[in-house]
Amino acid sequence: MANNVEKVNGIAITDIEKINGITDDNLEALNGEEFAGVIHWAATGGNVTTSGDYKIHTFTSSGQFNVGTVGDSADLQFLVVAGAGGGGMDMGGGGGAGGTLYNSASTSANDNGDISGLFDSTGDHAVTVGAGGAGLTGWDGVGLGADGSNSVLAADSATYTGNAGDGGSTNSDLADSSGSGGGAGASGGNSPQVRTAGTCTTSQGNDGADSYSNNGGYPNRRYRSGGGGGSGGDAANAHIGADANMSNGGSGTDYSGTFGTGIGSSGNFAGGGGGGGVNFGMGSPRGVGQAGGGNGDFSVAAGSLGGAGGNGTANTGSGGGGGGNGAAGGNGGSGAVVIRYLFQ
């Protein structure tokens, strides 16, 4: 035809082709998708949701992240959250949060590790979601809530591990922890005593809070346990003053801007459990758990028993609350693994 213009089925084809309504200038249109030398990620595994141009895979239990297509885009993020520690019993400390490991291929400001070569091959990549530690329910000679369990994402270049949170104490000092440290439990005695909380030895969490005890007789008797450390900050030590409450758990970390509010505790993960204890003659002194962490419990009258510590919310990696006078600690929350990538 004239002017180097051809018509096929009524569609004019010049240097720019129009196929199915898609203008293709040096692009190829195939099955309604555009290709400009960019290959997008495609994968299965976990609970898969879509947010704009992103796919989000949330693992609340162990499984496989199966990469069907390795994408060209560097826009990929992941979060690994370990299981949290359980709370101590009988004026117990709060459980420490599970360690968190966040990494992003779309920024250079990575929290941990190197993203290069994360998923270079198709196929299965193992995902392990750590369980939360059990709260202490009876004296075992040690007096600690159970530690949580590690969560793991096995990539091609490295294995990314979130370290377990530390259990809260009942009546003893705590050792170092690779996740957040547990809170120290209160103890009896005729003079003021301070118990030392667990400390975090990695960049994945923070320290628990020390406890304070003073057997000064009613109405001055105070047994204030420490809260567990959180991924976002240390738990504040239990206060000495007559009007002070138990120690709250350390703050968690808000990832809702990346992964949305439908996971974790409205997008927050890894808060510490609140401390339990006794505050005779005072009301509402419980330590508050953070980011889905369990609250501690307490008693406020001579001879009264406190309630059990609250459980950390499942798949938040947040600690269990410390039990009140004579009561059990709460269980730590299980962990999670979340992966997000640009799929179109």
CA-to-CA separations, 95 to 65, 85, 202, 280, 312, in angstroms, rounded: 30, 4, 17, 24, 9
What's the mean pLDDT in 56-80? 91
**What's the pTM?**
0.83
Residue with tokens 């002194």: 285
Strand partners, 30: 33
Reported confidence tier of residue 87, pLDDT bands at 50, 70, 90: very high
pLDDT of residue 247: 86
Residue 189's contacts (CB-CB under 8 Å, 6 or more residues apart) are 213, 215
Nearest alpha carbon to residue 71 among 119, 136, 20: 119
DSSP state of 169: B
Please give the pLDDT value at position 14: 46
Q: What is the mean pLDDT of residues 87-113?
A: 74
What is the pLDDT of the chain when averaged over all its residues? 81
Q: What is the mean pLDDT of residues 204-208?
A: 92
